[in-house]
Structure 1
């Protein structure tokens, strides 16, 4: 019996000035790019990505200044969409990705979709955070925002306008954490 490679692997893309750290699950199938909202990081997607299985290639990216990605003075959606496109291209995924955006990252997902081939944009949690009572205890750790007021300075552009309205799934703030298996099953019907 041969040892199996880890299901989730962590990688970095870019230079020290525009470094993006990301986790990846799977290497084949429809690419699914997971974008967290402001003050969160890529770990918020771990329960969902683990449920997606081998039929997709899931990529959860830390936005600049979040998690392990380098901070930037200006995080304009256009520049980040370009960096995200270069990252996706470097993965040699060969199919247009589904972008799943949490809260404010809907702006980045929509900008990406305007400029690059995209299979679908899905947004979740585009409202005020609700009580986490419906999120299983095991997953609540992934729904806690980091408190760093300086972080939002680079995202002024994102906060100045209302969020775009793309395909919105779930009335709850964290549908992917409330029921990761159910949310994954729904996504798999969209590929």
Structure 2
């Protein structure tokens, strides 16, 4: 039996000053771009991405200053950074954007400028009792407060929040961690 390739691969894009780190599952199919909220990182998407199968190329991104991505003083052009990343992945299809918390603003700004299949937004769940998340998934919902990130992302809230005609909202906080398989099925339904 031949060794199987890893399901998740980690990549970095850009220079050391503007590096964006992302994990990828799958090489073909509809790209599904998974964006975490402020003070989280790409690991919050691992349970869902592992549930997505061959008809998707799931990409969980560490936004600037989060996880392993380089910090920046100016993050107001984040939707352009994401467009460059998607283009560099050479996937040739409009992505489904899944945005948690504050990253919904970036996803909507992206959808206003670039072609998307769908936008799914999730509540950030900042005030949620962790007991609503199954114990096995609580490690993925750890909020890491950082005053430097607050300063860098202050302008992020100025991104226009226009309702996208292809936007869908998923109910309740952390639906992707309460039931990753069901959330992956929701995403599959939009692919």
Q: Give the TM-score normalised by structure 2.
A: 0.93
- The question of 1:169 aligning with 2:185 is answered no
Count of residue correspondences: 188
4+ long deviations beyond 4 Å: 160-165
CA distance in 1, matches of 2:55, 2:14: 27
In structure 2, the CA distance between the partners of 1:146 and 1:126, relative to structure 1 (3 Å rule), is closer
RMSD: 1.5
Aligned partner of 1:110 in structure 2 is 108
Listed as ranges, the matches of 1:31-50 within 5 Å are 31-50=31-50
CA contact 1:21–1:62 (8 Å) conserved in 2: yes
Residues of 1 paired with 2:159 and 2:11: CA distance? 32
Query: In structure 2, what is the Cα distance between the partners aligned to 1:42 and 1:145?
Result: 12
Instruction: Quote the Cα distance in structure 1 between the aligned partners of 2:158 and 2:83.
Output: 24
Gaps of 5+ in 2: none
* 1:27-176 mapped onto 2 (5 Å cutoff): 27-76=27-76, 79-126=77-124, 128-159=126-157, 166-170=167-171, 172-176=172-176
Inter-CA distance 89–161: structure 2 relative to 1 (3 Å threshold): closer
Structure 1: stretches of 5+ with no match in the other structure: none
Q: Shift of the alpha carbon at 1:159?
A: 3.3
2:132, 2:73 → 1: CA distance?
36
Normalising by structure 1, we get a TM-score of 0.93
